[in-house]
Structure 1
Amino acid sequence: MWQNFVNAISDLIQESGFANMTPLHFVMIVIACIFLYLAIVKKYEPLLLVPISFGMLAANLPLGGLMHPELWDKTPIDYGAILHEGGLFDILYLGVKLGIFPPLIFLGIGAMTDFGPLIANPSSLLLGAAAQFGIFGTYAAAMALGKFTEKQAASIAIIGGADGPTAIWLTTKLAPELLGPIALAAYSYMALVPVIQPPIMKALTTKKEREVVMKQLRPVSKTEKILFPIVVTLLTVLLVPSAAPLISMLMLGNLFRECGVVERLSDTAQNALINIITICLGLTVGATASADKLSQPGFGLQALLIIVLGLIAFSFGTAAGVLFGKIMYWATGGKVNPLIGSAGVSAVPMAARVSQKVGQEANPQNFLLMHAMGPNVSGVIGSAIAAGVLLSMVG
C-alpha cells in the first residue's frame, strides 16, 4: 500500500509542470513577471501590458495546454484541428490570425479619439507623415541584412508606427510565421513609449525649443467633425484600397462619436467592445512568446533581430517626427514646439502625453497635449496608410 502511494506521488510529480520545466520556460516566466511589474508598479500602459504579460506567463507554464504552436506551424493551417484540439488561447488567437481583432480595435480607437486638433491644425498632418520614416527606413535596413524576405521585412518595419493592431493586421497578410515576435515587439514598445521617447526628444532639441508655448487651437465646428471621417474614408480608400479595413473602421468609430445620433453604439465601441478585444488580443499576443515556439531552430535569433529592428524603427520614427518639428519651428519663427513631432507615431494617446510631460518639464506653463494630439491621430492614419502601401508593394 505504501509503495502504491509512493508510486502515485512519483507519477504526479512526473506529470506536473515542474518536471517539464526547461531553462527557457523559466526565462520566459521571469520576463513575463518583469512586464507585470512594469505594468502594475510602474504603471507603464497597464491596459496593454497586464494582459500581454499574463498571457506570456500562462503560456509558458508547461502542460497547461492553453496554446499549441505546432497547430499554427502547419501549411496550410488546419483550422478544423485548431477548433477540435486547440486550447483556450488557440481559439482566441483565431481573431488575430484571421484579421478580425485589429479593425475592431481601430473602431474603438476612432470612437475614443477627438480629431479636432488635427482639423484645427492641418499642418500637424506633416508631422504624422514624417514619423512614418521609421517604417520605410527599417524596411530598407531589414532587407539590407539579407535575413528576411520582402514580406517579412515589411512586417517588421511596421513596428515603427508604434501601432499594435496595424502591425498584427499587416503581418497576418504578409508574414504570419512572424506574427508572434512582431506583435509582442509592437505592443511592448507601445507600452514603453514613456521610457523610450523622452531621451530621444531631449537629445534632438534645445531647452529653448522645448520651452516654446504654442497658441491655443481654433474651435472646430460639429459639421467639420462629422465631415472629416467621411471625407478621409473616401479619399484614403480610393487612394490606397488595401488600407480599407483599418481606415474604414477607424473613421466609422469616429463618426459614431461625432454624429450625435448613435450614442449607444459610440459608448459600446469605446468601452465594452474595445475592452473585450484588448483582453483577447493581449492574452494571445503574450501567449505567442512561448518557450515551445522560441525553441524552434533559428527562431530565437530571428525573434531577437525582430525586437532590435523594431526598436530601431520606433526610435527612427520618433526622431524623424521631432526633426520635422524642428523644421516647422524654424519655418514659423519659433511658434511650433518640436516636441509635438514625437507624437507622430500612432501610440494614441500615450505619445501625446509624453510630449506634454517633456514640455512641462522644460516650462511648467507649457500645455502641449492638444497640439500633440494632432500629429498623434495623424500618425494613426499614417501608419494605416503605410501598411496599405507596404501591402501593395510586396503583397
Structure 2
Amino acid sequence: MESLNALLQGMGLMHLGAGQAIMLLVSLLLLWLAIAKKFEPLLLLPIGFGGLLSNIPEAGMALTALESLLAHHDAGQLAVIAAKLNCAPDVHAIKEALALALPSVQSQMENLAVDMGYTPGVLALFYKVAIGSGVAPLVIFMGVGAMTDFGPLLANPRTLLLGAAAQFGIFATVLGALTLNYFGLISFTLPQAAAIGIIGGADGPTAIYLSGKLAPELLGAIAVAAYSYMALVPLIQPPIMKALTTETERKIRMVQLRTVSKREKILFPVVLLMLVALLLPDAAPLLGMFCFGNLMRESGVVERLSDTVQNGLINIVTIFLGLSVGAKLVADKFLQPQTLGILLLGVIAFGIGTAAGVLMAKLLNLCSKNKINPLIGSAGVSAVPMAARVSNKVGLESDPQNFLLMHAMGPNVAGVIGSAIAAGVMLKYVLAM
C-alpha cells in the first residue's frame, strides 16, 4: 500500500495546480493557432510546446537551480539563502528579497543553489544562453538582414519617413502603460512600459531582445502578444487604413521605382550603421547584426555564408528562441493582471502605428508633386513582408490594376530600421535612470 501511495504521489497529475492547468490550456491554444490557423507557426509552435514543457508538474524544466531549491521547501537550505539575503526564511520573503537584489547577488544565490546540488532545467539553460545573453534575437536579426532588399527604400527615400512615423505607436504605448500605472489600474514600472511599447513596432526579435534586457518577468506575455498581433495584421490594419483614407486616395498610382545600383545596395548598410551607431551606440547590436546580414547578401562574395544565415542558422536559432520564450509561460509570471494590460496595449500600439504611417503619407502628399498612396504608410510597422502585402491587398480592392507591393516594401524595411533604433533609445534612456 505504501509503495502504491508513493507511486501516486510521484505522478505529476497529483501536483497539478489550477495555474498550471490554465497555462497548459494556453499552450495548447498557441499550438492550435500555429498548426490549424497557421498564425506565425515558426515561433508560436515552439513557444507553445515550450509552454507545455514548462508547466508539467514536478518536471522543473523551466526552473533555475535557485527556483528548484525554493520549490523543494527544505527548511535548512531556505535558512542559508535567507541569511545571505537578510530576510525571513520562507519562500515568499526570499522571492521578494531576490526581486530587489542586484543581479550580482542573484547570481551568487544561483551558484549557491548549484553548490547545494540543484541543477537548472533544460529550458532554463536554453533561456540563459539564447535570451539571457541576448544572442538569439541578434542572430535572428542577422538572418532578417540577409533576407532583406533595401532596393525599394533606396529607390524612394521618402518612405523612410513612413517607417519612422509608424514607430509613434511604440512611444504612445509607453505613455499608455505609464498612464495605467498612474491611475492605479495596472502596475507597470518604466522599464516594463518600455518593453511593452516595443510591441508596437511589430518586430518579434526586437520585442524579445528589449524585454529580455528591461523586463524579463514579462517576456512570455510580450512575446506572445507581439507574434499573435503580427499574425493578425491582415485583420487589424485594413479597417484603420480604410477609415483614414478616401476611395480616391486608395486609387493613387505611384511612379515606377527606379533601378537601384549594386554599389548603392552595398554602401547603404555600412553607411546606415555608421550614422546610427555613432549617434546612438545602444542601437548598434541590433542594427549591426541586421546590416551585417544585409551586407553579406548584397556583396555577393560570401554566398555560402549568406545562404547559411538565411536558412540553416536562423531556423536553428528560431527553435531555441521559441522554446526559451515558452520557459516564461509559467503561471506565476503569465497569469497576472499585467498580461491583460500587455494584450490591450499591444493591439492599441499596432493601431496607432498603422494610423501614424497612413497620416504621414497624407501629410507628405500636401507638399509633394509625386503623390504617395497613403495605404503604403501602414506598412511602416515592421511585420515584414505581411504589412506590405496587406497594403497591396487593400489597394487592389479599390483598383485591381494598382500593385503597391514593391512600393510598400520601402516603408516596411524602414520600419525594421526604426524599431531597432527605438529599442536603442529605450535601452539608453531607461537603463540610465
Is the TM value for this pair above 0.5?
Answer: yes
The partner residue of 1:352 within 388, 410, 414 is 388
Alpha carbons 1:67, 1:90 under 8 Å: kept: yes
- Provide the residue aligned with 1:90 in structure 2: 124
Quote the Cα distance in structure 2 between the aligned partners of 1:87 and 1:179.
18
Alignment partner, residue 242 of structure 1: 282
Q: Aligned equivalents of 1:25 and 1:202: distance in 2?
A: 42
The CA deviation at 1:205 is: 2.2
Following superposition, the deviation at residue 284 of structure 1 comes to 1.6
Bigger radius of gyration, 1 or 2?
2
Change (3 A) 1:43 1:175: closer
Gaps of 5+ in 1: none
The equivalent position to 2:140 in structure 1, one of 89, 99, 105, is 105
- Residue of structure 2 in register with 1:343 after alignment: 379
- Per-residue deviation, residues 234-264 of structure 1 (Å, max 9, x unmatched): 1010111110101111000000000010011
Q: Percent identity?
A: 60
Counterpart-to-counterpart distance in 2, 1:194 and 1:289 = 26
How much has 1:360 moved relative to structure 2? 2.3
Relative distance call for 1:156 and 1:65 in structure 2 (3 A) is same
Contact preservation (8 Å) 1:213, 1:365: no
2:252 matched residue in structure 1 = 212
Counterparts of 1:204 and 1:13, CA distance in 2: 61
Residue 50 of structure 1 aligns to a residue in which SS?
A: helix
Q: Is this contact kept in 1: 2:293–2:306, CA < 8 A?
A: yes
Amino acid in structure 1 at the alignment position of 2:171: F
Q: Is the 8 A contact 1:82 1:90 kept in 2?
A: no
| Inter-partner Cα distance in structure 2 for 1:316 and 1:11 | 56
Q: Name which of 60, 64, 73 aligns with 1:65.
A: 60
Alignment RMSD = 2.3
The answer on 1:371 being equivalent to 2:413 is no
Contact 2:39 2:228 in 1 (8 A): no
State the TM-score, normalized to the length of structure 1.
0.90
Structure 1 residue aligned with 2:48: 53
Change (3 A) 1:29 1:122: same
1-structure distance, mates of 2:275, 2:308: 27
Task: Write out aligned runs for 1:1-395 (5 A).
Answer: 3=1, 7-8=3-4, 10-68=5-63, 71=66, 74=98, 75=101, 76=103, 77-78=106-107, 80=111, 85-94=119-128, 95-145=130-180, 146=182, 147-294=187-334, 300-332=336-368, 335-395=371-431
Going from structure 1 to structure 2, the CA distance change for 1:224 and 1:302 (only over 3 Å counts) comes to same
- Give the whole-Å Cα distance in 2 for the aligned partners of 1:108 and 1:37: 27
TM-score normalised by L of structure 2: 0.83
- Cα 1:287–1:189, aligned 2, differ >3 Å: closer, same or farther? farther
Is the contact between residue 82 and residue 91 of structure 1 (CA under 8 Å) also seen in structure 2? Answer: no
Q: Deviations over 1:87-144 (max 9, x none)?
A: 1211110120121111111100000111111111100000000001011111222222
Cα separation, 1, equivalents of 2:290 and 2:340: 32
Q: Distance in 1 between matches of 2:259 and 2:338?
A: 49
CA contact (8 A) 2:124 2:327 kept: no
Residue 127 of structure 1 contacts residue 321 of structure 1 at CA under 8 Å; is this kept in 2? Answer: yes
Distance 1:265 1:210, change over 3 A: same
Q: Distance in 1 between matches of 2:50 and 2:399?
A: 40
Aligned-residue offset at 1:212: 2.8
CA contact (8 A) 2:65 2:121 kept: no
Contact map agreement 2:34 2:40 (CA 8 A) in 1 = yes
Tell me which amino acid in the other structure corresponds to 2:168.
Answer: F
Q: Which amino acid aligns with 1:67?
A: A
Going from structure 1 to structure 2, the CA distance change for 1:220 and 1:90 (only over 3 Å counts) comes to: same
My pick for the range that moved more, 276-285 or 330-339, is 330-339
Note the C-alpha offset of 1:198: 2.3
| Distance of aligned partners of 1:160 and 1:69 in 2 relative to their CA distance in 1, 3 Å threshold | farther
- Superposed CA deviations along residues 12-56 of structure 1, whole A, max 9, x for unmatched, are 343223222233323222222222222222222222222222222
Cα deviation for residue 272 of structure 1 reads: 0.9
> Which secondary structure does the structure 1 equivalent of 2:60 belong to?
coil
Distance 1:194 1:238, change over 3 A: same
Maintained 8 Å contact 2:64/2:119: no
1:135-186 deviation per Cα after TM superposition (whole angstroms, max 9, x unaligned): 1111222222223222222122111111122122222333333333223322
CA distance in 2, matches of 1:262, 1:329: 41
Answer yes or no: is the 8 Å Cα contact 2:127–2:327 preserved in 1: no
Q: Which moved more, 1:330-339 or 1:361-370?
A: 330-339
Gaps of 5+ in 2: 68-94
> How many Å apart are 1:332 and its aligned residue?
4.1
